[in-house]
A = this chain, B = another copy of it.
Amino acid sequence: MSAEYRVGVIGLGGRGMGHIHGILTERDDTIVTAVCDVYEDRMQKAVDYCKEKKGWDVAAVPCYRQLIERDDVDVVFVFSAWENHVPAAVYAMECGKQVGIEVGGAYSLDDCWKLVDTYEKTRIHCMMLENCCYDRNEMMVMRMVREGVFGKVVHCEGGYQHDLRSEIAFGEENRHYRLRNYQNRNCENYPTHELGPIAKILDINRGNRMVSLSSMASGAFGLNDFAEKNEKVNPALKTYRFAQGDIVKTNIRCANGELITLTLDTTLPRNYSRNFTVRGTNGYFSEVCNAVYMEHVHGEWDHKFYNNVKEYREQYEHPVWHKFETEGIKGGHGGMDWLVFDAFFEALKNGEVPPIDTYDTAAWMAITPLSEISILNNGAPQDIPDFTRGMWTHRPEWDKNHGFYALDK
């Protein structure tokens, strides 16, 4: 058991502790050497957990910059509140540390450019750990797209459709950053769970790019209603004027003519769904219908094709999932958490560009501030910067060494 990577973890809320528990203490090649959080009790819990489970002596470092600077930290993971993702990532790159960040949107285009500028200066990539890129259906559909099953892909749709009313409304008690964001901002605040897999399918930054977007939001009704119905919620929230609309719709035009539609949908009652949908000239995949619809195979007027994904599984299962299932599924969220971390370490080990690189991270995170401006301006279209500075037109030729976990081949 050789611990090749000494890991510093910034952010020890539910997600950070989950990753320590489910992945970092389970791998043979990682040792957690330092943890950081703004709350003392969380750090203590992480230190105790690592000691108990693995016997590691983990340093508790309240300042994220001091954690990054430590000699016993090679790799930095940023699982903290959204606001700290870019500052921590940029400082890690500047300090020569490898870095992976949890998902989330940016607060400004300037922050996205900072990631890119810092990569180009340091040649260290910031990989967004977008687990949904590695979920089973998303990878199967990516393979089907690469093999031409759907023909020319024309439209992709997806959403973060998750009833988070309880998490948000109890944000004070839970110390969760979503509450303050919903109180103050109105935007597509969490675009990457759906956009990540779609961007990979559409070759964004590698032969294609996102050109412009328009976002519109509904009013904010869900959280007030939730507070009204639930005695335990802070009664001030019954009439609090939340900034964040319940539903945000974002349309994105791509250079090659595709349209992407994103939905943020987190403060009304509903079942979980990412509504992953890929439409092509030959047929489509729909997560909601759990189905593949193929021209000449399925009928326009009946719904018998619903739930037929299993019929396509064997032929189109992605090799990453074949291997994963043969060797046993590991980690949280059905395995995709494990896979995205494994992809991170595999790229590191092989000296490869990570499969989600700094250009991807920046482009995906940019949707959030652009959607905010668009909503404030009644849906006015916003140009999406070309973070590759024109290199998207020929990146496929020089940047395809993503190994087993490649998301662009």
Contact = CB atoms under 8 A, between A and B. Distances in A.
Interface of A: 151-152, 154-155, 163, 212-214, 216-219, 221-222, 225-226, 245-247, 249, 251, 253, 256-259, 261, 265, 268-272, 279-284, 288-290, 293-295, 298-303, 305, 377-381
A269 B247 contact: no
A245 B259 contact: yes
Given A214-B216, A247-B279, A251-B251, 4 more contacts: A154-B218, A218-B257, A221-B257, A265-B279
How many chain copies does the complex carry? Answer: 2
B253 A280 contact: no
A225 B379 contact: no
Contacts of A377: 381
A299 B271 contact: yes
A301 B213 CA distance: 31
Nearest to A379: B214
Contacts of A216: 214, 251, 253, 259
Given A154-B247, A214-B216, A301 B271 contact: yes
B257 A269 contact: no
Main secondary structure of the interface of A (DSSP, over half): loop
Contacts of A301: 271-272
Contacts of A214: 214, 216, 251, 378-379, 381
Given A212-B378, A379-B251, A381-B378, A259 B300 contact: no
A302 B270 CA distance: 11
A378 to B, nearest CB: 4
A315 B261 CA distance: 36
Contact of A281 (B152, B221, B282): B221
Contacts of A219: 154, 256-259
A305 B245 CA distance: 26
A316 to B, nearest CB: 18
A269 B251 contact: no
Contact of A222 (B226, B245, B281, B298): B281
Given A249-B261, A259-B217, A299-B271, A281 B379 contact: no
The 9 closest A-B pairs by CB, nearest first: A219-B257, A214-B379, A218-B259, A269-B295, A216-B251, A225-B281, A155-B247, A379-B381, A378-B381
Nearest to A245: B259
Contacts of A221: 152, 154, 257, 281
